[in-house]
Amino acid sequence: MRTKYILSAFILILALQSVCAIGITPGRTTINFEPNLQKEVFFSVTNSEQKEMSVIFYIKGELKEAVLLSQDRAGFLSGESSKFFSYVVSLPGQFDRPGLHTAEIVAQEVPEGAEEEGTILGSTIAVVTQLYVYVPYPGKYLEFDVEVIEASPGQSTIFLIPMISRGNLGIKKVKTKIEIYSGETFIDEFELEETGVLAGERKELIGTWDTDVDVGRYNARIILNYDGEEKIIKKEFNIGEAKLEIELITVKNFQLGEIAKFNILVNNKMNQEVKDINVNMVLYGEERNVIADFRSANYDAPSLSKIEMVAYWDTEGIDKGVYDGKLILRYGSEKDEKNVKVEVTEDSIEVTGITGKVIVQKDGGFNLTTILVILIVILILGNILWFLVVKRLKRKKQ
């Protein structure tokens, strides 16, 4: 098993070195369609290791026949860090459909003696610069997207809305409205400043929402109206750290060899009910074999509430010691996994997370460790008192 891990790590290092050895820029060139357009496009290939190497070029994609490379092969000498190359795009008089048309210009490092593309499979790295050609839609056509910069309660959430007019006619007026929902419940709405967009023009709108709501998950409905057309995008976002969190695990009245009852306190920080929550703990022995795999039943947590979940572990046949493991909190399609260490004694269980934070609270009362600590403290105090008394008696005799 250890040999397998070492081999995997070695392969990963080689792959990372290959990735770093060759690069290409720009990542993409975008052209707005013009009938019979001919355009030369330049790109650069980087040799970050400045080593001697050979590179071949080839074209893939729908526009393969419309691209002519200036050369299909190049060599780098030791010490050369980059070189410029080019290709010529020759567009037809028209396309049979509007929208996006693409090609990929591929640069691939090859060993000496490899003459053609595809002769080396998986042993070298290929990098790509994309060619995007946008053919305008007839009339008015607006493409847009939404990015949300999430915030904490009391701060402003920012909505970035980049838009491009992909039609052959400009748009006089774009009206933008953003509606905010918690689940299906309407919370708020606001409008952005109206704007116009010329044919082929790109603009970016910015909207801010001053959040005075609970931590949780929200939905935005972004509605764009332009010259009689309407487009809608829905976007989910969080205010604060919207998640479930294990706050405390308590194990009471535990004796090794019996069934341990884990009381698990889970905090639902979200503004909506979460269903089908369960906690799973997996523990490993010295040989990484699974010695325990137990989980709670499924629970539902109301919004902004704490629930106590229960899981049971039969410790028959388990030895005292410290075990590696993982603690998995599952809810819906989400999963929160933490590495943990579990220390098992005759009458206690202690779990520490990867940060060392103790997340298991022992049962109250006196166990063997507590009694020993108290006895040691008593002995130390007794010795101090004895020393002070003896010292005072000696002074009196003098």
Judge whether residue 220 has pLDDT over 90: yes
Percentage with pLDDT > 70 across the chain: 82
Looking at domain 2-135, its CATH class is mainly beta
Name the percent of the chain in helix, strand, coil, to the closest 5. Answer: 15, 55, 30
Amino acid letter at 85?
F
**2-135 matches 244-365 in fold:** yes
Q: What are phi and psi of 200, to 5 degrees?
A: 80, 0
Task: Please tell me the distance from the alpha carbon of residue 226 to that of residue 221, in angstroms, as a whole number.
Answer: 16
Give the pLDDT confidence of 115-127 residue by residue, as tens digits. Answer: 554 444 445 688 9
pLDDT, position 36: 96
Could you tell me where the DSSP H helices lie in the chain? 2-21, 368-397
* Nearest-5° Cα angle at 280, 277 to 286: 170
Task: Please tell me the distance from the alpha carbon of residue 338 to that of residue 353, in angstroms, as a whole number.
Answer: 7
- The CATH number of domain 244-365 is 2.60.40.10: yes
Amino acid letter at 300?
D
- Can you tell me the mean pLDDT for 202-212? 89
The half-sphere exposure of 337 on its side-chain side, counting CA atoms within 13 A, is 5
Q: State the pLDDT confidence band at 136, using cuts at 50, 70 and 90.
A: very high
Give the pLDDT confidence of 269-326 residue by residue, as tens digits. Answer: 877 888 999 999 999 988 888 999 999 999 999 988 999 999 999 999 999 999 999 9
Contact 157, 239 (CB under 8 A): yes
Looking at domain 142-239, its CATH class is mainly beta
Contacts of 21 (CB under 8 A, 6+ apart): 47, 48, 49, 51, 53, 109, 125
Judge whether residue 13 has pLDDT over 50: no
pTM above 0.85, yes or no: no
What is the residue extent of each domain of the chain? 2-135, 142-239, 244-365, 368-398
pLDDT, position 9: 43
Distance of CA 54 to the CA centre of its chain: 36
Task: Please tell me the distance from the alpha carbon of residue 98 to that of residue 96, in angstroms, as a whole number.
Answer: 7
